[in-house]
Chains A and B, each alone.
Chain A
Amino acid sequence: MAVRELRIVKVNDHSVANELRKNATTVGIGMFKVSRNPAKLGTWALGSCVAIILFDPLLPAGGLAHALLPSPHRVLDSPGKYVTSAIDAMIRELKSLGASVKRLKAAIIGGANILDFAKNISVSARNVATARKVLSIHYGIPVVDEDVGGNVGRNVVFDIGEGTIYVWYTRRSLFGSLR
């Protein structure tokens, strides 16, 4: 049996992106979902937020979180909202599906600075750094692929059956929308 590799594939064709979007289950902002194959999980409009993807290639099973902030300030209102708690919660639920932490691979997408502010305290960079740290240092899960930073919004579909993460950027053309 071929080994499934977790990898990011960039999508440039918007009709392909629309098909991917239609066939995926949406993971909302500040939420997470885990599932066993077959499933396609999608999240949209990642700005400074990060999508954290976990994948057990053997089952296969995987999870996707759309986290807004690095960690809770006082009260943990929703685990999917924070990088730290989203990773904890996804690992817990993936284990209950039969996944092994030792087999898990991770990918991180997002963390863009779309707007150019004078007082940018860069939540984006902290989101990405926290995700890397919690995954690799705390859990020993390798981050095998990333598409982070920059200044453009991203959309993501994770195909758990293939281990493929489809990423496309927001179209940044004014007159492209008329053609």
Chain B
Amino acid sequence: MNTQKVSKVNCALNISDFENIGKTAFKEASKALSELLNQKIQLKLISVLVLSPIDMINAIGNELPTEVVAGYSEVEGVVDGVLLMVMPVEHAATTAKKLLEQLLGANILSEEMALDLFKEITNIVFGTITSTVYNKYGIYLKYSVPRVVIDNFVAILDNIALIYITLLNEVVILNAEIEGEEKLQLKLLFIPGEHKIR
């Protein structure tokens, strides 16, 4: 078992804990999303990474620029930071197109409606993540109303990193897939800010 601690965040969680949180939260999120969208949605955890900000930026910075749809919230609680859910823009567009067709029964490609939908999905995922963290570990995290942006993944990370990351904190990355007719990628990141125990 991987027992690497997220030491600087110091919330006594290791990779196995994040795997548990991811699995439970995604299971709950799948149920909630399936009900909301009236179709079977399955979020599946693929891997968990805990990286230093430098490793994260190097790992992602060496990739070609990828445009993503990102839902994000500021987090307050035992630790402050940012929750970020990203999906490649093509995957998000495919998903949104199908969901809008299903919900509206027509081929209406409204960017505004699609982004609102993504915001709602982000809210459900963040809600299940934070409630799972509280139920399993008693750690209370409050998140702000999610906002959504489309931009380059590295540029987004760079914006967050410069505001939130101290060089000592690790970033938690949950890699997930949305299973359906095709597999769609999803990444969920927790980027802690200054170390804080309340």
Bound: A173/B144 CA distance, A: 24
Q: How far is the CB of A83 from chain B (nearest CB, A)?
A: 12
A115 interface residue, CB < 8 Å from B?
yes
Interface residues of chain A, those whose CB is within 8 Å of chain B, are 28-30, 44-49, 68-69, 112-121, 123-124, 152-155, 170-175, 177-178
Q: How far is the CB of A129 from chain B (nearest CB, A)?
A: 14
Given A28-B61, A44-B65, A177-B67, CB of A115 within 8 Å of CB of B160? yes
- Chain B residues contacting A120 (CB-CB under 8 Å) are 163
Evaluate contact between A174 and B96: CB separation under 8 angstroms: yes
Bound: A84/B149 CA distance, A: 31
- Chain B residues contacting A174 (CB-CB under 8 Å) are 69, 89, 92-93, 96, 111, 114-115, 150
Pick the contact of B159: A28, A44, A48 (CB < 8 A): A48
Given A47-B156, A115-B147, A173-B111, CB of A178 within 8 Å of CB of B163? no
Evaluate contact between B74 and A170: CB separation under 8 angstroms: no
Interface residues of chain B, those whose CB is within 8 Å of chain A, are 57, 61-62, 64-65, 67, 69, 72, 74, 82, 89-90, 92-94, 96-97, 109, 111, 114-115, 144, 147, 149-163
Evaluate contact between A47 and B158: CB separation under 8 angstroms: yes
What are 21 A-B pairs at a CB distance below 8 A?
A: A28-B62, A29-B158, A44-B154, A45-B152, A45-B153, A46-B158, A47-B154, A47-B156, A47-B159, A48-B158, A48-B163, A114-B155, A115-B147, A123-B163, A124-B159, A170-B155, A171-B89, A174-B111, A175-B93, A175-B109, A175-B111
Evaluate contact between A115 and B159: CB separation under 8 angstroms: yes
Evaluate contact between A44 and B90: CB separation under 8 angstroms: no
Pick the contact of B67: A112, A113, A115, A171 (CB < 8 A): A171
Residue of A nearest to B90 (CB): A177
Residue of A nearest to B150 (CB): A172
Bound: A152/B74 CA distance, A: 20
Bound: A178/B183 CA distance, A: 17
Bound: A124/B156 CA distance, A: 12
Evaluate contact between B94 and A178: CB separation under 8 angstroms: yes
Evaluate contact between A117 and B156: CB separation under 8 angstroms: no
Bound: A12/B154 CA distance, A: 21
Q: How far is the CB of A98 from chain B (nearest CB, A)?
A: 32
- Chain A residues contacting B67 (CB-CB under 8 Å) are 170-171, 177
Bound: A46/B156 CA distance, A: 9
Residue of B nearest to A122 (CB): B163
Q: How far is the CB of B40 from chain A (nearest CB, A)?
A: 23
Evaluate contact between B144 and A115: CB separation under 8 angstroms: no
Residue of B nearest to A114 (CB): B159
Bound: A115/B152 CA distance, A: 12
Q: How far is the CB of A169 from chain B (nearest CB, A)?
A: 9
Evaluate contact between B72 and A115: CB separation under 8 angstroms: yes
